[in-house]
Amino acid sequence: MKDLSKDSVTWLEVGEEAEGQRIDNFLLRIAKGVPKSHIYRIVRSGEVRVNKGRVAAEYRLRLGDKVRVPPLRTAERPSQASVPARDFEIAWEDEALIVIDKPAGVAVHGGSGVSFGVIEQLRRARPLAKFLELAHRLDRETSGLLVVAKKRMALTRLHDQFRDGGIGKRYQALVKGRWRNELQHVRLPLLKYLTADGERRVSVNPAGKPSHSIMRLLARWENFSLVEVELKTGRTHQIRVHLAHLGFPLAGDDKYGDFSLNKDLQKAGLRRMFLHAARLVLPHPLSGAPLELESSLPAELRRFTEKLDRNETKDYGQTF
């Protein structure tokens, strides 16, 4: 990346990584730390030009465009050396996307008290990659399939597919209690709010956004059930809140779960939230070819279900 804080004008040529991006978002990305108000001012004033002509903030860049960027005073960036490179297990990779099998305990990106996450570590491990962007999110304690785009066009189409329900997402979740229905549709509206401490939370509320989960019973023991959750909408903490509201808190959930139970589970060997993104079904963002990807339960979750098999009577499902 060129230094935009020097005194002279910088000319940038648009490559595949920025093709189709709005000029304002492009500038905000390359000039991190510069206030949005300043970015919009230099676009409106004509200090930013594309192919020597003035453009509006909504202009979408084309491959090969020449962008004039005036000198910008950018904020001091943290040293990249502080982000350790990391190779993650790959479920799928081609020229358009990477699907990572994310371990639990790793944030997908830095922020909110986390200095770096999967995307920063992946970029560090692949310094020659021109474009790597998250197509969606997983909670820090959720393991499983995570999609990263390698091209701007792929990212745009993936965002559309996730928003419009074109991607099938299925999770496996262990809950407290005996789940009764083999198949159950859960339609409960979800509303975001902040606690007194400023922490983000979600609750079932008539004023919230429509949210739809499909629950399928996979296994049931005396005190626990394993369910598959298919997401038809992708609201924040949707699975965790729907399950807790129904009286089946997710094992190990430190926000909406049974806190007394969680302490007992830690002593029994379950030291994380039992939620795993197990399956993705999607049309390839560039070719449209169908992709079906699966991730097996991680070893620590599988060991706990095996312990349940030994210690509790199972009356539904197969032995793991």
Contacts of 204 (CB under 8 A, 6+ apart): 188, 189, 190, 191, 241, 242, 245
Q: CA–CA separation, 146 vs 49, rounded Å?
A: 37
Q: CA–CA separation, 42 vs 147, rounded Å?
A: 34
From the list 65, 101, 139, 258, the catalytic residue is 139
**156: which 2 tokens?**
């745009």
Annotation marks residue 197 as catalytic: no
The three-class DSSP label of residue 1 is coil
Q: Which of 74, 72, 48 is nearest to 61 (CA)?
A: 48
H/E stretch holding 213 reads strand 212-220
Q: CA–CA separation, 285 vs 137, rounded Å?
A: 17
Q: Quickly tell me which residue has 């978002």 as its tokens.
A: 25
Q: CA–CA separation, 188 vs 208, rounded Å?
A: 9
Active site residues: 139
